[in-house]
Amino acid sequence: GAGVSQSPRYKVAKRGRDVALRCDSISGHVTLYWYRQTLGQGSEVLTYSQSDAQRDKSGRPSGRFSAERPERSVSTLKIQRTEQGDSAVYLCASSLVSRDRGPYEQYFGPGTRLTVT
Amino acid sequence: GENVEQHPSTLSVQEGDSAVIKCTYSDSASNYFPWYKQELGKRPQLIIDIRSNVGEKKDQRIAVTLNKTAKHFSLHITETQPEDSAVYFCAVSKGNNDMRFGAGTRLTVKP
């Protein structure tokens, strides 16, 4: 079946503007993570969104970064008031299990390259 | 928080030789250690992973070893081929599944 997809693949934004990046995960996967990948530096999770059978849970906002879950298999990463330091590749990854069930394989999308000018 | 260091940052080997990439971590509670391969312009793909209750895992030409006491784990690729050329990332995770990645190693296998 289809894997994780992201759109757009490339995004140019002016400093100070808000941007939204989309991730379509694998059907049935519960947790979607957002990572920022910067060349030569380690990547770490920015935020996540999780859904279960009953309801969607909002991802924990981390400063200017937040994740929303408009649909079960869709997550949107919102970056407010972009800064030049936000220029990076943003990867989303989905996991079959909920975050509190412990480490499990994550499947990555191809990434969105964001350039803030 | 967790600190993951990966070495070397670049590695060049001759086809057929072995390649070893090492990662160290700081949080002794970490219990899941995956390795991802990312080819240029493509998504990271899991190639092998190990959990803290295992010391070594092998899958054909790829193996991972874990030293929990020393808090380091290594990726071993034997009989390297040109198609092994990519950037390899180690990652560390624990109960909450939030992964922290190393900075990556660019492996070049020369034919």
Chain B 41-70, CB below 8 Å of chain A: which residues? 41-46, 49, 51
**Hey, how many other C-beta atoms are within 10 angstroms of the C-beta on A85?**
9
Q: What angle do CA A87, A114, A62 make, to 5 degrees?
A: 70
Asked if A2 has any chain B CB less than 8 Å from its own CB, the reply is no
Mapping DSSP to helix (H, G, I), strand (E, B) and coil, where does residue A16 land?
A: coil
**Sign of torsion over alpha carbons A28, B40, A66, A60:** positive
Place of tokens 């964001």: A114
Specify the pairing of strand A112-116 against strand B45-51: unpaired
Q: Do B93 and A97 touch (CB under 8 A)?
A: no
- pLDDT score at A62: 63
A100 to chain B: nearest residue by CA? B96
A48 to chain B: nearest residue by CA? B98
Chain B 17-36, CB below 8 Å of chain A: which residues? 31-32, 34, 36
| B42-81 confidence digits (pLDDT tens) | 888 999 999 988 899 999 999 999 999 999 999 999 999 9
B18 CB-contact burial (10 Å; exposed 0-12 / middle 13-18 / buried 19+) = exposed
Cβ contact A15:A82 at 8 Å: yes
Cα–Cα distance between A51 and B69 in angstroms, integer?
36
| Percent of chain A scoring above 70 in pLDDT | 88
The tokens for B99 are: 């992964």
Asked if B106 has any chain A CB less than 8 Å from its own CB, the reply is no
Average pLDDT score over chain B: 93
Answer yes or no: is pLDDT of B88 > 90: yes
| A30-82 confidence digits (pLDDT tens) | 888 898 888 777 777 777 777 643 333 344 456 888 888 888 888 899 999 99
